[in-house]
Structure 1
Amino acid sequence: MISDVADADSGPGPAETRGGIDLGLLVLRVVLGVTMGAHGLQHLFGAFGGPGVGGFARALGELGYTSQTTLLSWITGISEVVGGALVLVGLFTPIGAAALLGVCANIVYVKFGGGFFQKQGQGFEFELLLAAASLTVLLAGSGRIALDVNTPWRKRPLSFGLIGLLLAAAASVVVLVLCR
């Protein structure tokens, strides 16, 4: 039976196992948060050689988004930066991970027809990996090495994760319906 309670005193086994899980979640959160945050900075400000809002809006147009591409660029960039930062430090982790999952789900959907592997920007394997990492953090929670350590969503990650999953799915559908 799947348990949704992540009590600090109980876990899947010995303290080393629980510590390994917490350390693994920390590594996953740091890599995911930094990667998505950096993409957001590229999209918003042109950092790290990125396109900035205007260039990202044009790229969204090339991917088939037909309306509100500038607004969508801002929403996407802010979701990546804020969601990445929240996941990175483990604060309001379900919200941050849901935001990242929503962004990744949209791009996987848009790039799906181009095949799995990256060829001239058409593949979706990188975004699928980021979506899987976001979903993992969303459903597993932040772990004990996080600012969320004493919150209800850290103690019941599956329940809050499923709510976040529904929110991410709803946001993705709304974006696809309104902007494509």
Structure 2
Amino acid sequence: MICQNRRDLGLLALRLGTGAVLAAHGTQKLFGWFGGAGIEGTAQGMEAMGFRPGRASAVAAGLAEAGGGTLLALGLATPAAGAAVVGEMATAASVHVPNGFFNQSGGVEYPALLGWTAASLAVMGAGRYSLDHVTCYRLDRPWMVPVALAGSAVGAALVICRRTRATAAAQDAKDDSPGAEG
């Protein structure tokens, strides 16, 4: 019983911390809170990174972070919440991976850690101190874990492939422009 209580308290602490960080990042994107760019600024940034259309990409990223983070913190629909975050963090990691691993260089460390944590929570579940527990796990059935994570992986792969094609096409157009050196 003591071990179970410790596990559930640990899951609560992990969910609250991770969920709060994600929700804060999402609200930066959606509403400009906490010094964020808001939807318009985020949309411009998304376009510059090759995510098109920028506004739809900004809304999707903001909702995955704010919504997924909030649901993780509450421990509600944990497989879906974790999967939404995993997909968003995989997409974010694809932008950061050329900069190496460490965050100080703009690397993949931070989105990878958030994605890994969200995936772990999706697999483990929210624990006893959660809304999933209160609702008798109606939104956290065992079959939901692989389905949600697989759907997230497919969605992230499609977004990343589309961005890769768009950035390659933009680079080709830049290289073919009259002022380009050759």
TM-score normalised by the chain length of structure 1: 0.83
Change (3 A) 1:69 1:179: farther
Distance 1:104 1:78 in 2: 12
Report what 1:49 is aligned to: 35
Residue 148 of structure 1: SS of its match in structure 2?
A: helix
Distance 2:138 2:31 in 1: 35
Alpha-carbon shift at residue 28 of structure 1 (Å):
0.8
Of Structure 1 and Structure 2, the greater helix share is in: 2
Residue 103 of structure 2: SS of its match in structure 1?
A: coil
**TM-superposition CA deviations, 1:48-71 (whole Å, max 9, x none):** 000111211222233333x21111
Alpha-carbon shift at residue 153 of structure 1 (Å):
5.8
What is the RMSD computed on CA atoms of the aligned residues? 1.7
State yes or no: 1:145 paired with 2:126: no
Distance 2:83 2:141 in 1: 18
Report what 1:99 is aligned to: 84
Distance 1:47 1:152 in 2: 33
State yes or no: 1:72 paired with 2:57: yes
Identify the structure with bigger relative contact order (alpha carbons < 8 Å, sequence gap 6+): 1
Bigger Cα Rg: 2
Which structure 1 segments of 5+ residues have no match? Answer: 1-14
Alpha-carbon shift at residue 154 of structure 1 (Å):
4.6
State yes or no: 1:110 paired with 2:95: yes
Distance 1:155 1:64 in 2: 36
Aligned length: 162
Q: Is the 8 A contact 1:93 1:142 kept in 2?
A: yes
Percent same amino acid among aligned pairs? 31
Alpha-carbon shift at residue 178 of structure 1 (Å):
3.4
Residue 116 of structure 1: SS of its match in structure 2?
A: coil
Distance 1:20 1:160 in 2: 25
Distance 1:124 1:52 in 2: 23
Report what 1:26 is aligned to: 12
Alpha-carbon shift at residue 85 of structure 1 (Å):
1.2
Q: Is the 8 A contact 1:29 1:88 kept in 2?
A: yes
Which structure 2 segments of 5+ residues have no match? Answer: 165-182
